[in-house]
Amino acid sequence: MCLAVPGEIIKIYPDGYQADVNIMGNVKRVSIFLTPEAKVGDRVMVHAGQAISVIEREEAEAIEKLWEELLRHGND
Amino acid sequence: MATTKEQEYFSRLVEQLQRMTQRPVKIMEVCGTHTMAIAAAGIRQILPPEVELVSGPGCPVCVTADMDIDAFLDLATREDVTIATYGDMLRVPGTEGSLADIRAQGGRVQVVYSATEALQLARENPDREVVFLAVGFETTAPATAHALTVAQAEKINNFSIFNLHKMVPPALRALLADEETAVDGFILPGHVSAIIGEEPYRFVAEEFGRPGVIAGFEPVEIMAALVQLVTLLNRREARITNLYRHVVRPEGNRTALALLERVFQPANAIWRGLGEIPDSGLKLREELFPYDAEVKFGVTRKPVAKRTACRCGDVLKGLIKPPACPLFARKCTPEQPQGPCMVSAEGTCAAYYHYHRRDSDG
């Protein structure tokens, strides 16, 4: 039920509340009411027809560092 | 779907977990979507024997109480009502059948993918009363709130919700306060957290001394959460860590939280297995009562006698695993579900049935 899938915003409608999002090759119209900061080109998590979070590029890129850290910590 | 790099990290994290586990630990994955991801990736089967992973109350359909199910089934039999529901609810059995049965007998039940779609149904059918079964946690509730504000603005008066929304942190508190549930740490729900942020879980560490990790849903992210939890448990350190930072901000989604605040107020709610939990429900604010199907149609709830030997409630508390239920995979299957844990695609029983029925670790 709390399933959300990532997709890229390819178009924002003039009302500002709806966007076309490319989710694994399928374009779906979703509400971006909850993510007013979202821009074309952003990746968002989509749940039940709503974008619930804009994916932060820097954090996404940093995740491997986080895993490396975990692999080191366990050796304490 | 995982990249080669992710697979590599996954294997390394598995090895790490095996090396570092010193004593038996019981970890609960709270969220039903995690339950599915764990089952699909076969994670339980590759864990060190000391690490026990139990499922929690994070499947909204599963935790819906029998008396609520009977109440919306009652509504569905009304001549003037069209029920709009997420597909997951369709086959949940009540005392007398399910929504699917009512539909087969000519009742109007329509599957929708969002609250917005349910509202659209009301716009297109002004002569029908459209009742949306609003089920879900903090992830899903903002969409319902949004649809309600639109209905209010557009004065769509043939739309209402049967409100089943619930909140995760109060359920965790109830679980922790119950001595029967001896859980050492939690994998916290990633998408609920995208809305509520990190703060609402602090009591888990500060009052109950248990660590919790907010995690994503890829196998590697779940394994990373387990390594982090065991690291914290080894150090006897209780804190909440966020390993899903690209999606979950520490403060959550402020727009969604403000919307929830505007539309709902906390209220007691009844959960299957856990009973009544203070302030775990989201009641509509008074000015929105005209959109509350319970108020609109004068719904009354009647206590429901336990009908079968179904142990969905114990599964939701992490007390047993599905194979320990006498009905599991015998009388109760996804084709003939006896309880909601087998109906919902993310129910623990459905996950066990589909992915590791041959295990005997009940």
- B4 contacts: CB under 8 Å, gap ≥ 6: none
Q: What is the mean pLDDT of residues A6-19?
A: 96
Over range A51-63, report the average pLDDT.
94
Q: How far is CA B172 from the centre of its chain?
A: 12
Domains B4-55+170-242 and B66-167+253-296 in one fold: yes
Q: Which amino acid is residue B190, in one-letter code? A: G
Q: Do A63 and B246 touch (CB under 8 A)?
A: yes
A12 touching chain B per CB within 8 A: no
Question: CATH number of the domain at A5-73, please?
Answer: 2.30.30.140
Nearest-angstrom CA–CA distance, B178 and B4: 42
Going by C-alpha positions, the residue among B345, B58, B144 that lies closest to residue B353 is: B345
CB of B314 closer than 8 Å to CB of B271:
no
What residue segments make up the domains of chain A, in order of their start? 5-73
CB proximity list for A65: less than 8 A, separation 6 or greater: none
Q: Which residue has the tokens 């009562």?
A: B289
CB spacing of B194 vs A52 below 8 angstroms = yes
pLDDT at A2 (0 to 100): 78
What homologous superfamily is domain B4-55+170-242 in, according to CATH?
HypD, alpha/beta domain 1 (3.40.50.11750)
Helix (H, G, I), strand (E, B) or coil at A14: coil
* Rounded distance between C-alpha atoms, residue B311 and residue B339, angstroms: 8
- Domain positions in chain B: 4-55+170-242, 66-167+253-296, 312-356
**Partners of B94 in the β-ladder:** B97
Task: Out of B139, B246, B259, name the one closest to residue A47 (CB).
Answer: B139
**Closest by CA position to B213, among listed B236, B235, B238:** B238
CATH architecture of B66-167+253-296: 3-Layer(aba) Sandwich (3.40)
Q: How long is chain B?
A: 362
Distance of alpha carbon B183 from alpha carbon B53, whole angstroms: 9
ipTM, 2 decimals? 0.95
Residue pair A73/B165 in contact by the 8 Å Cβ criterion: no
pTM above 0.80, yes or no: yes
pLDDT at B217: 96
pLDDT per residue of chain B (362 residues) written in tens, 0 to 9: 578 999 999 999 999 999 999 899 999 999 999 999 999 999 999 999 999 999 999 999 999 999 999 999 999 999 999 999 999 999 999 998 999 999 999 999 999 999 999 999 999 999 999 999 999 999 999 999 999 999 999 999 999 999 999 999 999 999 999 988 889 999 999 999 999 999 999 999 999 999 999 999 999 999 999 999 999 999 999 999 999 999 999 999 999 999 999 999 999 999 999 999 999 999 999 999 999 999 999 998 888 887 789 999 999 998 999 999 999 999 999 988 999 999 988 899 999 999 866 554 44
